[in-house]
Structure 1
Amino acid sequence: MAQPAADQPRRAVAEFGALLAPFPGRAALTTRIAVASTLTVLIAAMYGTPEAAISAYVIFFINRADRTSSIVLSLAMLVLVSLIVGLVIVLADFTLDNPVLRVACMAALSAGLLFLTSASKLRPVGAIVAMIVGFGLDELGLVPAGELATRGLLYAWLMVAIPIGANVVVNLLLGPSPRRLAGERLAHCLRVAARSLRDPAAQGTALAMALRDGVQPLPGWLRLARLEGSVNAADVLALRQAMTSTMAILMAVDVAWRQPEARLPAACAAILADTLDAMARMLAAGGYPVDIALALPEAAALPPLQQAVAKALREAIEHYAEPEAPAAPGAAHSAPASKPGGFMDRDAFTNRSHVHYALKTTGAAMFCYLLYQQLNWPGIHTCFITCYLVALGTVAESVEKLALRLAGCLVGAAAGTAAIVYVVPALDSVTGLLALVLVGTWLSAWVASGSPRIAYAGFQVAFAFYLCVIQGPGPGFDLTIARDRVIGIIIGNLVVYLVFTRIWPVSIAGRIDAALAALASQWQQLIDAHQPAARRQHAASAMALQRDIAQDLSLARYEPASVGPAPAWLARQWQRLRLLDAVAGPLFLLAERFPGDPAIAARLRAVRTGEAPSAGAERDAAAGPGDATRATLLALVDQHLSETRPAAAHAPSSHAQT
């Protein structure tokens, strides 16, 4: 039923407020970005380096949740930029007096770096590096002598080196260790599970977020913690087991939340919740719980579905941080096979979309470069920079993010202009400017560190605010500079939008198809795995994939009919995703109790195809273990299949707008 018109504004305000709500680690990351950006502006003011606004903005791209990856990414970017600037210095001998050759080199280097941005591990920083190269070559055209050209290139290097140095210092002083983040994330997940057990009706959103995002970063954090030496090998094994046990706890609690008949009696739920809270306190304090014993009242007298939930919770809690014994020779692997490494993506030289992305972004940037050169309007040079910062891979992303970028640009420009008119005239030193930058950065970084639905707006708010407020080594009052820079941002956004939606448009449907295939593979591996750790890791990967697919399906509605998938196709994919989301918990509990059961595999095939389980699957179910819990869980999956099959056959196109 459609909501009353009077309720829709309130709902929109509530949803927007939820996007801005705090979550674990958000305030700390926002503060580090604000401090590092302000320190960058201070250093740039002290030494009078140009483009301090861009230097401050680089901080947004090289910060991560933990200190180790932030520092490693910063140093890797410094090495890469140093090599590229060195290459540009070599090219300067040939291009200084030849504008055509200089522009050709700018385009060639841009296309090459953007190809690597799309097709390699350079993805997080490649566009920034391409922008620095373009800036350096642009500087060559503004100077009359080789010595000044060299100085301009060194300024281009400093434009990145200064924020990198500031970011390293700030993360060394304020950045949390990966080990600490891992413990806090596990503690947060256990607290969510405990609250859901006490009050299932009030914890649906928090539980869903914990399922899809909760344990995903932990393997990377534990590798980084081992690399920096903050944990030993035994602790890593224990925390990895804690991660998989946490996933099992969340999956079991999710079944209890979705199925009222699976919710545990109050006495049993209270004991489990109190235990989870105590475990969370240990994890938040830097340790991990061991030797846990549970005494659940009347567990044997519970109905089969409640017994399945209680048994899964009890096993996961009592063996929470106890590493599994190594698998016997010839047995199934205890962990999912790792993806092949390497700098380049596997489809780097076979997928034409990488080349198309590089050419489209370079074309948009060069158009903007030639535009402001021919107009002799250097104040809008930000259109050239913007092309590198906002280019995206698919039409859906380009259209959806355009609104966020333009809204963010207007908000940032309004804030920057208001600051120039009302705040900057009262500033008499660089200290006041730094305070203004700190406040503006903190607010925009809070938005940028949130959900993808608003993150791009935060990035654009910061970019426009910096370009208005940071006009030199001290407070600036020139509204013309702010006006021209904002016009440049808008032009750059519109050019990228037009290029990416008109030239070689890439629909998000291909990415959805690939993700759905990967999701089916994850669930098949989960069902086949005989080691609990492997099953739970596959479950974590599957839940994260479901989140990504849901986001992509929501984005698909932004694509025009000439590019995007048909509404009926979107409705089918939504239906498949919702069905899999509904049966994920029962399938997981079945796989935990009966790994490799053919009846479970038959239900998974039915989920993928939308058809009823075969008669052979029914015989497998009848001939299987005589366990009432197994029969109840299979019946629950079959119930969801039967409820959604008619809807799949007559799915309305409005599902595409969900």
Structure 2
Amino acid sequence: MAQPAADKLRLGLADILALLAPLPGRAAATTRITVACTLTVLVTSIYGTPEAAISAYVIFFINRADRTSSIVMSVAALVLVSLVIGLVIWLADFSVDDPLRRVACMAVVSAAVLFLTSASKLRPIGGIVAMIIGFALDELGLVPSGEIATRALLYAWLMVAIPLGVNVVVNLVLGPAPRRLATDRLAHCLRLAARSLQAPDGDPDALHEALRDGVQPIAGWLKLAKIEGSVDVQDLLALRQAAASTMAILMAADVARRQPGAQLPATITAPIAATLDDMARMLDAGGYPVEIGLGVAGLEALSPVQQGVAAELAGAINRYAEPDEADERAPQAQAGKAHGGFLDADAFSNPVHVRYALKTTGAAMFCYFLYQQLNWPGIHTCFITCYLVSLGTAAETVEKLSLRLAGCLVGAVLGTAAIVYVVPSLTSVGGLLLLVFAGTWISAWVAQGSPRIAYAGFQVAFAFYLCVIQGAGPGFDLTVARDRVIGILLGNLVVYLVFTRIWPVSIASRIEAALAALVAQWQQLATARQPDARRGHAATAIALHGEITQDLILANYEPASVGPARDWIDDRRQRLDVLDAIAGPMFLLAERFPGDPEVARRLHALQATGAVPPPAHAADGPHDSEADKVRQALLAIVDRRLTETPVAAPGATSPTSVHAQT
């Protein structure tokens, strides 16, 4: 089967076009971002605040898939920025009149904020906060009096407060409710499962994406729905069970598609697929199905593997949104354990956090001194760029450099073309807003796609805004556009050189930690007694599998002096293939025979030595003959897959698709 575009090392034109194709919810998210950015430009034009381009760009960082988290993030960021401006006012008392102290304050505060960005929950907006502090202190050095300095700080606060306020209003009006996102995602997954059962070779990539990314966000959306009060306790428990059942349905459909002899006959799949489509329609309407009562006739004529798949589908469908009492208590207990503190556990023990702060600050301060010494303030965007594009590992830095440069050049071409051919015909701010709307739509569409191209969308928007938004009205100065684009390119180059030459961080350690967590998830799944717990571990494992897949692709971008050797990458890739190959049968075994020691033994053997375990023997406890045939058949598939894809050392891996094997 062809590898999904998002999982390929090198993307061709056809792959890029595939990544730009419409996805459920992509148009709505693009529209929401576009409206928020356009309104931000309108407000900044009315009040004449400086750096309106940066204000519009903030929307790309602060907006989320649902209205609740978008609003909470915006309000929290507004409070944080207000505190930061207060800190700047305090620093200004002893730094505004002394360039040396002012620059020292910029560097020290930047490093402190970036440390928190790397080592705490401040990560999504920490770079923006550090950029605001640097920008505000720099502006203070350009003003001749205290009154003007106060005004400059107010403008610095408005630069971020305006987009945050606009984002809150737009999400109140256009933002989707978390519950609606959850039910829409469940409906989408059920339709994909129905389609896969009826046509296993139709669109395997779609089922792969649903397994990797489909169910995982739903738990978070349901928590947000509870916070905003749009779901009561009964509906919350039912939808949690629906998410768990959907994961089981997707896993069973994947086994039927991929494993030899597991595909169900049309007489079985037709009523199951019809029921799944009916359930999807109920979810689309905002409800959820109960008391389904699906009956599957003719199971005795099926092979043991087919019986296992059909029984799993029927069981998950018939109890789709009906949790029992034990299942009702488990998610609440797990949710209580999931909350961590503000700081990461290794915040003060891992030197990577300090090094990240020093590297980013160093890159930014180098750019600051450069344009100051050159007396070329037009390229001040290099200073801003360092905060917005710094990444944690050398692999991400190298891989995203091409996206940054390509996005920057595309945005610059669009912006320059707009200045030459469109802006001269604009006579009011309304025309500028239409131009911003069109450019933002293109950028946001790319940014809302796969992580393989989303970063380019951010850079397109950044360069386009800096070219087109030159003040409170249409701007015609090509020199401004030229200098700002040069600044962006310079900032990207400096960050690339710093992050690949000074304390480079390989992605290998992250891969190893993720692999250990992946095996741990499967071990917990094998021993879990409650269905919702098993399915939750499966969803987490599949999502983690996808993250490791992408990280292994990124590992190929690291310089030889930084990254792991090719043999190391191939070994981890092979281990991921092993877990991918046995994931479906292992899940069905854990569902049908919870706590089976043979399942745990194979996982332990895989983790410990990579050796293929000996043939299975009967597990402890009574099993009827039909159930035991199913068990033996599934164990045989696991053993065959382990034999076909042997490994030589502990772990698990592969930068091929999580569910791309046939």
Corresponding residue number in structure 1 for 2:345: 346
Q: Say whether residues 1:643 and 2:644 are aligned partners.
A: yes
Question: Partner of 2:590 in structure 1?
Answer: 591
1:631 and 2:629 aligned: no
Is residue 427–residue 433 contact of structure 1 (8 Å, CA) maintained in 2? yes
Checking the alignment, whether the CA contact within 8 Å between 2:518 and 2:541 is kept in structure 1 is yes
Letter in 1 for 2:582: V
Deviations 1:468-488 (A, max 9, x none): 000000000000000000000
Residue 187 to residue 610, structure 1, CA distance change in 2 (3 Å):
farther
Q: Which residue of 1 aligns with 2:39?
A: 39
**Equivalent AA in structure 2 for residue 588 of structure 1:** F
What amino acid sits opposite 1:452 in the alignment? P
Alignment partners' CA distance in 1, 2:32 and 2:620? 59
The answer on whether the counterparts of 2:616 and 2:632 sit within 8 Å (CA) in structure 1 is no
Query: d(CA) in 2 for partners of 1:654 and 1:592?
Result: 28
Cα deviation, residue 267, structure 1: 1.4
C-alpha displacement at 1:220, in angstroms? 0.9
- Secondary structure, aligned partner of 2:201: helix
Measured in 1, the distance between the counterparts of 2:413 and 2:333 equals 55
Cα offsets for 1:621-643 (capped at 9, x unmatched): 59984510000000000000111
Q: 1:335–1:533: 8 Å Cα contact kept in structure 2?
A: no
C-alpha distance in structure 2 between counterparts of 1:336 and 1:605, whole Å: 27
Structure 1 residues 622 and 94, CA gap change in structure 2 (3 angstroms): closer
User: Is 1:29 matched with 2:29?
Assistant: yes
CA distance in 1, matches of 2:160, 2:415: 23
Partners of 1:405 and 1:460 within 8 A in 2: yes
Q: Deviations over 1:285-312 (max 9, x none)?
A: 1000000011222122211000000000
Contact 1:420-1:469 within 8 A present in 2 as well: yes
Alpha-carbon distance between aligned partners in 2 of 1:249 and 1:473, rounded to the nearest angstrom: 54
Q: Encode CA deviations 1:250-288: one digit per residue, 9 max, x unaligned.
A: 000000010241111101101000000000000111000
In 1, Cα distance between equivalents of 2:498 and 2:100? 23
Q: Which residue of the partner structure matches residue 129 of structure 2?
A: 129
Give the letter aligned to residue 340 of structure 2.
Answer: G
Describe the shift of the 1:504–1:328 C-alpha distance in structure 2 as closer, same or farther (beyond 3 A): closer
How big is the shift at 1:159? 0.2
Which residue of the partner structure matches residue 18 of structure 2? 18
Partner of 2:371: 372
* 8 Å Cα contact 2:529-2:595 kept in structure 1: yes
Map of 2:508 onto structure 1: 509
> Match for 1:356: what amino acid?
R
Assess if the C-alpha contact under 8 Å between 2:612 and 2:646 holds in 1.
no
Residues 447 and 546 (structure 1), Cα distance of their counterparts in 2 relative to 1, 3 Å cut: same
List per-residue Cα deviations over 1:348-398 (Å, max 9, x = no partner): 111110111001000000000111011110000000000000000000000
- What amino acid is aligned across from residue 45 of structure 1 in structure 2? S
Is contact 2:71-2:168 (8 Å) kept?
A: yes
Supply the distance in 1 between the matched residues of 2:240 and 2:655 (Cα, whole angstroms): 42
| 2:611–2:648 CA contact under 8 A, matched in 1 | no
Find the aligned partners of 2:381 and 2:610 in 1 and give their Cα distance.
54
**Structure 1 residue aligned with 2:603:** 604
- The residue type equivalent to 1:197 in the other structure is L
Determine the C-alpha separation between the residues in 2 that align with 1:286 and 1:207: 23
Q: Cα–Cα, structure 1 residues 446 and 372, in superposed 2: closer, same or farther, change >3 Å?
A: same
Name the amino acid aligned to 1:249: I
Map 1:554-565 to 2 at 5 A: 554-565=553-564
Contact kept, 8 Å, 2:404 with 2:459, in 1: the verdict is yes
Task: Say if 2:252 and 2:309, in contact at 8 Å, map to a contact too.
Answer: yes
Q: State how far apart, in whole Å, the 2-side matches of 1:512 and 1:127 are.
A: 25
The 1-side partners of 2:182 and 2:48 are apart by 41
Q: Match of 2:338, SS? A: coil
Query: In structure 2, what is the Cα distance between the partners aligned to 1:78 and 1:479?
Result: 34
Distance across 1 between alignment mates of 2:560 and 2:656: 16
Provide, for residues 487-538 of structure 1, a one-character-per-residue CA deviation record: whole Å limited to 9, x for no partner.
Answer: 0000000000000001110000000000001001101100010000000000
Offset, 1:317:
0.2
Match of 1:399 in 2: 398
Q: What's 1:322 paired with?
A: 322
- CA offset digits 1:423-471 (Å, max 9, x no partner): 0011111101000000100110000111110011000000000000000
**Which residue of the partner structure matches residue 264 of structure 2?**
264
Q: What is the Cα deviation at residue 332 of structure 1?
A: 12
Number of residue pairs matched by the alignment:
648
Q: Is the 8 A contact 2:327 2:531 kept in 1?
A: no
User: Structure 2: how far apart are the matches of 1:608 and 1:525?
Assistant: 14
**Deviation of 1:136 (Å):** 0.3
> 1:647: how far off?
9.5
Write the distance in 2 (CA, Å) between the matches of 1:95 and 1:426.
45
Is 1:490 aligned to residue 502 of structure 2? no
Q: What letter matches 2:546 in structure 1?
A: R
- The SS at the match of 1:200 is coil
Deviation at 1:25, TM superposition (A): 1.2
Provide the rounded CA distance (Å) in 2 between the counterparts of 1:367 and 1:11: 34
CA distance in 1, matches of 2:602, 2:324: 29
**Distance between the aligned counterparts of 1:429 and 1:327, measured in 2?**
60
* TM-score using structure 2 length: 0.94
Deviations 1:168-187 (A, max 9, x none): 11101100000100000000
Is the CA contact (8 Å cut-off) linking 1:334 and 1:534 kept in structure 2? no
Instruction: Name the residue aligned to 1:303.
Output: 303
Residue number in structure 1 paired with 2:142: 142
Residue of structure 1 in register with 2:88 after alignment = 88
Counterpart CA distance in 1 for 2:152 and 2:341 is 35
SS in 2 for 1:403: helix
Aligned CA-pair RMSD: 2.4
The equivalent of 1:222 in structure 2 is: 222
SS at match of 1:202: coil
Aligned-pair CA distance for 1:24: 1.3
The structural deviation recorded for 1:339 is: 3.0
| 2:440 maps to 1:441 | yes
Moved more, 465-474 or 289-298: 289-298
In 2, Cα distance between equivalents of 1:184 and 1:361: 40
Question: 1:646–1:73: structure 2 CA closer, same or farther, 3 Å change rule?
Answer: closer
Structure-to-structure mapping, 1:271-310, within 5 angstroms = 271-310=271-310
Which position in structure 2 is the counterpart of 1:241?
A: 241
Verify the 8 A CA contact 2:447 2:454 in the aligned structure 1.
yes
Q: How far is 1:618 from its partner?
A: 3.6
User: Quick one: structure 1 residues 654 and 474, their matched pair in 2 at CA, closer, same or farther if it must change by over 3 Å?
Assistant: closer
1: distance between equivalents of 2:536 and 2:290? 21
Cα contact 1:394–1:500 (8 A) shared by 2? yes
SS at match of 1:201: coil
Opposite residue 434 of structure 2, the aligned amino acid is A
TM-score by length of 1: 0.95
Matches of 2:542 and 2:134, distance apart in 1: 40
| Residue in structure 1 matched with residue 581 of structure 2 by the alignment | 582
For the residue of structure 1 that corresponds to 2:337, the secondary structure is: coil
| Partner AA of 1:410 in structure 2 | L
Q: Deviations over 1:106-139 (max 9, x none)?
A: 1111111111111111111110011011110010
Shift of 1:403: 0.6
One-letter code of the match for 2:488? I
* Structure 2 gaps, min length 5: none
Quote the offset at 1:12 in angstroms: 2.2
Aligned AA for 1:156?
A
Equivalent in the alignment of 1:199:
199
> Which structure 1 residue ranges, 5 or more long, are not aligned?
none
Q: CA deviation at 1:334?
A: 7.7
Deviations 1:48-106 (A, max 9, x none): 10000000000000100000000000000000000000110111111111000000011
Output the amino acid matched with 1:598: P
Map 1:411-422 onto structure 2 (within 5 A).
411-422=410-421
The alpha-carbon deviation at position 612 of structure 1 amounts to 3.4
- Change in CA separation of 1:82 and 1:654 when aligned onto 2, cut-off 3 Å: closer
Contact 1:242–1:321 (8 Å) recurs in 2:
yes
Q: Give 1:433-472 correspondences, 5 Å limit.
A: 433-472=432-471
| Cα gap change, 1:245 to 1:332, in 2 (>3 Å) | closer
Percent of pairs identical after alignment? 70
Report deviation, 1:17. 1.5
